[in-house]
Structure 1
Amino acid sequence: MRVAIIGYGNVGRAFARLLEQKRSAYPFRIVAVHTARHGSAYDLKGLPVEPAFGPAAPTVDEFLANARAEIALELTPLNPESGEPAITHIRTALQRGMHVITANKGPVAFASAALHEEARRAGLEFRYEATTMDGTPVYNLVRNNLPGVKIEGFAGVFNSTTKVILAAMSRGLTLDEGIAEARTLGIAEADPVFDIDGWDSACKAAALANVIMDARVTPQQVDRRGIGKLTPEKLAEIQATGKTVALVARAKRAAGAVKLRVRAEVLDKDDILASMRGTSNLLVLETDLMGKLGVFTLKPGLDQTAYGLFSDLVDIARSL
Structure 2
Amino acid sequence: MNIGIIGLGTVTQGFIEILSEKKNWLQEKYGTHIKLVAVKDIQKGNVYNSNGIDLIELLSKLNNNENLSDGSLSEDTTVASINAIDLIVEATYSDYKTGDPAYTFIKDALSNGKHVVTTNKGPVALRFTELNKIAEENNVSLRYEGTVLSGTPTFSLIEECLAGDEILEIRGILNGTSNYILSKMSEGGSFENALSVAQEKGYAEADPTNDVKGYDARGKVAILSHKVFGVELGLENIPTIGIDAISKEALDTAKNDGKNIRLIGSLKKEGNIITGKVQPEALPTSDALSNIGGVTNAIEITTKYLGKVMITGPGAGKLETGYAVFSDVLTILKNNK
- C-alpha deviation, 1:188, in angstroms: 1.7
Matched, 1:273 2:289: yes
Partner of 2:136: 120
1:16 correspondence with 2:16: yes
Specify the alignment match of 2:46 in structure 1: 40
Match of 1:133 among 145, 149, 169: 149
CA–CA separation in structure 1 for the residues paired with 2:35 and 2:293: 36
Q: Which amino acid aligns with 1:280?
A: T
Displaced runs of 4+ in structure 1, greater than 4 A? 55-59
The one-character-per-residue Cα deviations of 1:46-84 (angstroms, maximum 9, x if unpaired) are: 24223642288546x723324832110111224122322
Distance change in 2, residues 1:308/1:167 (3 Å): same
SS at match of 1:81: coil
The residue type equivalent to 1:5 in the other structure is: I
CA distance in 2, matches of 1:141, 1:65: 34
Q: CA deviation at 1:170?
A: 2.1
Check whether the contact 1:4–1:72 (CA below 8 A) recurs between aligned residues. Answer: yes
Q: What's the counterpart of residue 68 of structure 2? A: 53
1:156-305 → structure 2 map (5 Å cutoff): 156-254=172-270, 256-297=272-313, 301-305=317-321
2:300 and 2:239 map into 1 onto residues whose CA distance is 19
User: 1:190 and 1:98 mapped to 2: Cα distance?
Assistant: 34
Instruction: Count matched residues.
Output: 319
Match of 2:161 among 137, 145, 150: 145
Which amino acid is 1:46 matched to?
A: I
Task: Give distance in 2, aligned partners of 1:179 and 1:262.
Answer: 20
Calculate the TM-score normalised by the size of structure 1. Answer: 0.93
- Match status 1:6 vs 2:6: yes
Task: Please give the secondary structure, in 1, of the residue aligned with 2:25.
Answer: coil
Q: Aligned residue for 1:106?
A: 122
C-alpha distance in 2 between matches for 1:256 and 1:77 = 35
- Counterpart among 97, 101, 112 of residue 81 in structure 1: 97
SS of match in other structure, 1:191: coil
Q: Distance in 2 between matches of 1:236 and 1:127?
A: 42
Aligned-residue offset at 1:314: 0.9
User: Corresponding residue for 2:87?
Assistant: 71
Q: CA deviation at 1:85?
A: 2.0
- Kindly provide the amino acid, as one letter, of the partner of residue 35 in structure 2: R
CA distance in 1, matches of 2:74, 2:98: 24
Amino acid at match of 1:275: N
State the one-letter code of the partner of 1:257: I
> The residue matched to 1:33 in structure 2 has which SS?
strand
2:112 is aligned with 1:96: yes
SS in 1 for 2:292: coil
Question: For the Cα contact (< 8 Å) 2:88–2:117, is it kept in 1?
Answer: yes
Amino acid at match of 1:156: G
Query: For structure 1, which segment, 30-39 or 120-129, has the greater mean C-alpha deviation from structure 2 after superposition?
Result: 30-39
* Pair 85,300 (structure 1): closer, same or farther in 2 beyond 3 Å: closer
Note if contact 1:252-1:259 (Cα within 8 Å) is conserved in structure 2: yes
User: What is the deviation of 1:257?
Assistant: 2.5
Q: Which amino acid aligns with 2:266?
A: R
Query: C-alpha separation between the residues in 1 aligned to 2:323 and 2:41?
Result: 21
- CA distance in structure 2 between the partners assigned to 1:102 and 1:201 by the alignment: 17
Which residue is equivalent to 2:29?
none
Deviation at 1:19, TM superposition (A): 0.6
Q: Is the CA contact 2:93–2:101 (under 8 Å) kept in the aligned structure 1?
A: no
Which stretches in structure 1 are left out of the alignment for 5+ residues?
none
Select which of 35, 38, 44 maps to 1:29: 35
Residues 16 and 67 (structure 1), Cα distance of their counterparts in 2 relative to 1, 3 Å cut? farther
- Partner letter of residue 154 of structure 1? I
Q: Does 1:311 align with 2:318?
A: no
Quickly say closer, same or farther: Cα 1:129–1:178, change in 2 above 3 A: same
| 8 Å contact from structure 2 (residues 243, 280) kept in 1 | yes
Name which of structure 1's ranges 209-218 and 138-147 shifts more when overlaid on structure 2: 138-147
Cα drift, residue 186 of structure 1: 1.7
Deviation of residue 209 (structure 1)?
1.2
Cα deviation 1:218-266 (Å, max 9, x = unaligned): 2232110011111223322221222110000010123633111001111
The two structures have a TM-score, normalised by structure 2, of: 0.88
